[in-house]
Amino acid sequence: MFSELEPRPADPILGLTVKFKADSNPKKIDLGAGIYKDAQGNTPVLDCVKAAEQIRLDTETSKTYINSAGSPLFNEKMTELMLGEHRVIAENRIRTISTPGGTGALRIAGEFIRACKPGTTIWVSNPTWANHQGVFAAAGLTVKTYPYYDYENKCLDFDGMLEALGQVTADDAVLIHACCHNPSGMDLDQQQWQQVAELAREVGFLPVVDMAYQGFGEGLDEDASGLRLLADAVDEMIICGSCSKNFGLYRERIGACSIIGRSAEAADIIYSVLLPTVRVNYSMPPAHGAAIVETILDSSELTARWHEELREMRDRIGGMRQLLVDKLAEKSVTRDFSFITRQKGMFSFLGIDQAQVQRLQEENSIYIVGSSRISIAAIAPDNVDYLAESIARVL
């Protein structure tokens, strides 16, 4: 059976990481991986996470199985984190389950959509996170794209987005990034979110909101304001959340999938379909990461500490955006890179071509994916001069 297999190309981002690790240049920079790094290039364990882990170590009494939905307290706290005091919670119209990371949430969302309507088309932004198309295709959905980023003008192609979404059908699903769009960094503003919400209500498509970076844009509530507007406008919606970035729990693989129904009765039916979907995928979600998150969110002291640590990460990324633009100007780069400061979150497109990307790798040991997407979080005060000099050289 295995003799018929053909080798497949390596994931472009993971492949870059392998090359980076093998590079002996002491000045090397990895701008490919979407992982937060501090000014020293480390991905630290948050202090609030360490405190929560100690509490778990002291109080955990069993390693027995949990149920397919995961921890009820985690699910409750994640629902509140994403939706605040939204009326769908008071109306008992939402059901949340724990998942293995944000990717697991997306896969369960895809499987759930297929269970509702086999052959459904889901529309994703162009560009979008590289794994979106693969995850939804593997779940049995047809994947199409709508315009989102204007590469030439380095801004949101909102007119193109609205025009495309106006042509989808009520049987389709539409994936929208809640904040800190990966890979462009260009987010919808409140007025644009309102227009999308009105369009979703008018057309009747199912919104699927991917919120992988809540708190990395402007703030926890600010970053969720768009999806809350959307939840005001539609009767049905899916939200996929992740704790990888904002809690720094990358390897713990903990996320959440929340589905809003038209009524409490409809939400109960949704839940009854979700649980067997989980059962045949991974049976039960991991517990450790969920326990950390719920311990933090259930403690006013740890929550306050988390808010502060999250603010520090957000401010560092924003500061690196401005510093990179300033350093490029210092190196006499005449091209306008000010668009970088208008974006949010961890990513941005530099807007250089693939030949220049390759030169950065070969001549300067600076690793960037072919699209020129860079992780702003990997920039630091001690490497930004070298980065700006290298970009100036290839330009």
Structure tokens at 311: 């603010």
**Catalytic residue selected from 28, 77, 123, 129:** 129
**Catalytic residue selected from 77, 245, 327, 344:** 245
pLDDT at 8: 86
pLDDT at 10: 74
- 159 in active site: no
pLDDT at 9: 82
pLDDT at 33: 83
Q: Let me know if 166 is exposed, middle or buried by CB neighbors in 10 A (0-12, 13-18, 19+).
A: exposed
- 306 in active site: no
Please give the helix or strand (H or E) that residue 211 lies within, else none: strand 206-211
How far from chain centre, in Å, is Cα 139? 19
pLDDT at 67: 95
Cα torsion 159, 125, 335, 320: sign: positive
- 326 in active site: no
Q: Is the whole model's pTM more than 0.85, yes or no? A: yes
* C-alpha distance from residue 308 to each of 246, 315, 371 (Å): 11, 10, 33
pLDDT at 226: 98
- Asked if 68 contacts 284 with a C-beta cutoff of 8 angstroms, the reply is yes
Distance CA 35, CA 27 (A): 19
Question: Which residue stretches of the chain have pLDDT < 50?
Answer: none
**Catalytic residue selected from 157, 210, 223, 327:** 210
276 Cβ neighbours under 8 A, 6+ residues apart: none
Please write the tens of the pLDDT for every residue from 70-89: 999 999 999 999 999 999 99
Complete domains list, the chain, with CATH: 10-45+302-394 (3.90.1150.10), 65-298 (3.40.640.10)
pLDDT at 243: 98
